[in-house]
A and B are shown apart, each in its own frame.
Chain A
Amino acid sequence: RKEVEQDPGPFNVPEGATVAFNCTYSNSASQSFFWYRQDCRKEPKLLMSVYSSGNEDGRFTAQLNRASQYISLLIRDSKLSDSATYLCVVSDYGQNFVFGPGTRLSVLP
């Protein structure tokens, strides 16, 4: 079983749609969780950290369920510029970082 798994994708959604990404991790000792986005041939960019209480940043909402070892990212009112690969990242105490395989999103006009 892979350490971090994500929806295989790709997701093709119309502008304005709500889209949800799911991620599961196998290491119960994991402490820190992040969502990154990566555009084609560019570096990953931090979207948000994920906290147990859940957190929201504009149209983006992240949730963490430690008991189920599950992380989610919700994008509301999707824009063309949201098209990218979304990467779930899990870390122990800030040393070892494991990336999920990523889910590609295409927002269509």
Chain B
Amino acid sequence: DTEVTQTPKHLVMGMTNKKSLKCEQHMGHRAMYWYKQKAKKPPELMFVYSYEKLSINESVPSRFSPECPNSSLLNLHLHALQPEDSALYLCASSQDPRGWGDSYEQYFGPGTRLTVT
């Protein structure tokens, strides 16, 4: 079962709000990712967690704060966002960042559609 779940499906927040996006997988995957996708654009990598440690931060503004409480969960904490941060936020996981080939195949959750007003 290649399932990644994300909550909430939709989120509307004001620029002064604090909210969190959640992602969960029970496939035993050891790498988890956050992507941002704007309309008609491809996903852009934001963060990578490898064995629960942050391994890549693609120069993401500090108003986005990732957290990996355990190997199955990934959170993205949001604070003081701007309207241009409105996008689809996708979580993905892959089997083993220390492996090779198929172990890098990423499986995506359905995403959280975020609107910042």
Contact = CB atoms under 8 A, between A and B. Distances in A.
B45 interface: yes
Nearest to A42: B110
Interface size class of A (residues with CB under 8 A): 20 to 34
Tell me the interface secondary structure of chain B in the complex: mixed
Given A46-B105, A91-B104, A94-B97, A102 B111 contact: no
Interface size class of B (residues with CB under 8 A): 20 to 34
B75 interface: no
A95 B50 contact: yes
B110 A43 contact: yes
B102 A98 contact: no
Contacts of A94: 31, 94, 96-100, 103-104
B45 A96 contact: yes
Nearest to A51: B101
A4 B33 CA distance: 19
B64 interface: no
4 A-B pairs closest in CB distance = A99-B42, A94-B104, A43-B108, A94-B97
Interface of A: 31-32, 34, 42-46, 49, 51, 87, 89, 91, 93-102
Interface of B: 31, 33, 41-45, 48, 50, 55-56, 90, 94, 96-111
